[in-house]
Amino acid sequence: MFTGCGVVAGQTQYLPKDAVRPLTGLMVTRSNPAENGVTAGTCPGYHAQTYSPSVQPAVVNDSIPLKPPPAPAPPRALKLGQEGFKKVCRTEEDSPCPFPGLASGVLEMRVKEGSKIRNLMGFAMARMQGGEGVNAAGMSGGGLRQVVFTGSGRAVTKTITCAEIMKRKVGSLHQLTKLRYKVVKEVWESTEGGASEMTVHRTVPSISILLSKDPLDPQEPGYQPPETLSALWEEKEGVDSASQTACKRPLGPLPYSGVAHCKKVCLGEGLSVVPPQ
Amino acid sequence: MTEPRNPGISSLPLTVPVQTDSSSSAVEMDPVEYTLRKRLPRKLPKRRNDVYVNMKTDFRAQLARCQKLLDGGGHREICVHGLGLAINRAINIALQLQASSQGALQLAANTSTVELVDDLEPEDPDEAGEPMTRTRNNSAIHIKVFYPDPQ
């Protein structure tokens, strides 16, 4: 869980310029432009060689452009709070639709951390199957043709689960998955009076899943044809079994490993008939 | 080494008071305590360029491993897999790789459902509890991180 020495070295380099402020690692926009300039100047170079921030198992990734201090410290939010700052607002910056050329009226399900799957699915399934919302774009007969699930941070898992449930229930849906970082702007205000205010930009990983009853472009990265429920694993195993046979890792003395091993062997033989590319 | 097949980490000795669900024959509350053992996900394809992300290994170590595969390992594409909670980390790794490549890398994500099996073993062998299994589903992500072919 601790940071490597490389990062620490980088940090010491970085710290002196910033030593006054306790909030290393955050790119802070204060009213003082000079100070801000220093931070902005040092950050990018510094971060270029260090890696990600997810020191804690916290799911929210704290930013690319900002380097968190390599401390086994409590999460950043808590720390800011301890320093006498209070989060006053949090806005998600508008990002363009990840699916260019999508009709504007497509149902977008924004999955949040606290969203209930039954609520989301109840709504989305009704729209996809039923005849409600007849005027919505992308309609033709039995329900909507397309739906987009988006979620970020801790809601990513839930978003995928929703999409998976819908694929299973509706069947023969084409899927397009896009990943990207989403920028979240947070404004923190000092609690000890004074007009000190900070704006923190942090980036959070987010996912967008487009499910469509109509075919989508199979060349697009992240496309998944319908009914690849379990085929995904098998197919991948098959594709380059050559490299797989080359890679022999000792299987643990696991009760199930026997089965897995058998399977691999069978696959390897089967593939001699169908030559891998 | 993050060997996911290690049987040691698979058994989580939790005691769960098992409740009778409507499908089982017993009508009264079952007093037998069970140990819930989570089996490992089945059939993992393991090529050299497959990376299974977990939540136990340091994030940076896993990221460095991926980076090494792409830079020094001579792979033009790697596959980053994440299951359940590790989905987030897998996405993070993929996005970090992409960011540090200055846009040279592309991502192609696929999602799937993985069926997981839990074993329920009776705590006390004297009692008439029978070993049971339960299956549940969990979501997974498979992200192909690759250099697009020059065209």
In terms of pLDDT, which residue wins out, A89 or A119?
A119
The C-alpha atoms of residue A72 and residue A93 are separated, in whole angstroms, by 29
Q: Would you state the pLDDT for residue A226?
A: 83
**List of residues 6+ apart from A47 with CB closer than 8 A:** A64, A65, A66, A67
Amino acid letter, A102: L
Other C-beta atoms lying within 10 Å of the C-beta of residue B93? 31
For the segment B54-71, what is each residue's pLDDT rounded down to a tens digit? 899 999 999 999 998 888
In terms of pLDDT, which residue wins out, A198 or A256?
A198
Is the Cα torsion angle A43, A48, A53, A55 positive or negative in sign? Answer: negative
For the segment B92-120, what is each residue's pLDDT rounded down to a tens digit? 999 999 988 888 888 999 998 888 888 88
pTM higher than 0.90, yes or no? no
CATH of domain B3-146: 3.30.110.20
CB B93 within 8 A of CB B80: yes
CB A209 within 8 A of CB B111: yes
Query: And the tokens for A93?
Result: 């910056």
Q: Would you state the pLDDT for residue A128?
A: 83
Which residues between 208 and 247 in chain A have a beta carbon less than 8 angstroms from any beta carbon of chain B? 209, 221-224, 228-230, 232-233, 236-237, 240, 243-244, 246-247
HSE-up (13 A, CA, CB side) for residue A267: 23
Domain boundaries, chain B: 3-146
Question: What CATH number has the domain bearing residue A198?
Answer: 3.30.110.20
Question: Closest residue of B to A163, CA-based?
Answer: B111
Which residues between 29 and 48 in chain A have a beta carbon less than 8 angstroms from any beta carbon of chain B? 48
Contacts of B108 in chain A (CB under 8 A): 177, 221-223
Could you tell me if B79 lies within 8 Å of chain A, comparing CB atoms? yes
The C-alpha atoms of residue A176 and residue A207 are separated, in whole angstroms, by 11
- Is A179 in Cβ contact with B89 (below 8 Å)? no
For the segment B139-148, what is each residue's pLDDT rounded down to a tens digit? 999 999 988 8
CB B20 within 8 A of CB B28: yes
**Residue A188 maps to a domain:** yes
- Is B96 in Cβ contact with A51 (below 8 Å)? yes
Which residues between 57 and 116 in chain A have a beta carbon less than 8 angstroms from any beta carbon of chain B? 57, 59, 61, 64
User: What secondary structure letter does DSSP report for B149?
Assistant: P
Residue-number span of the structural domain to which A156 is assigned: 85-95+104-129+143-224
ipTM: 0.73
Our CA-based measurement puts residue A190 at a distance from the nearest CA of chain B, in whole angstroms, of 31
Of A164-168, A236-240, B132-136, give the range with the top mean pLDDT. Answer: A164-168
**Residue A195 maps to a domain:** yes
Q: How many domains does chain A have?
A: 1
| Residue A236, helix vs strand vs coil | helix
The C-alpha atoms of residue A227 and residue A222 are separated, in whole angstroms, by 15
**Residue A34 maps to a domain:** no
Query: And the tokens for A211?
Result: 């499910």
Query: And the tokens for A253?
Result: 């003395």
Q: Could you tell me if residue A138 is left (phi over 0), alpha (psi between -120 and 50 degrees) or otherwise beta?
A: left
CB B114 within 8 A of CB B41: yes
Of A73-87, A231-245, B73-87, give the range with the top mean pLDDT. Answer: B73-87
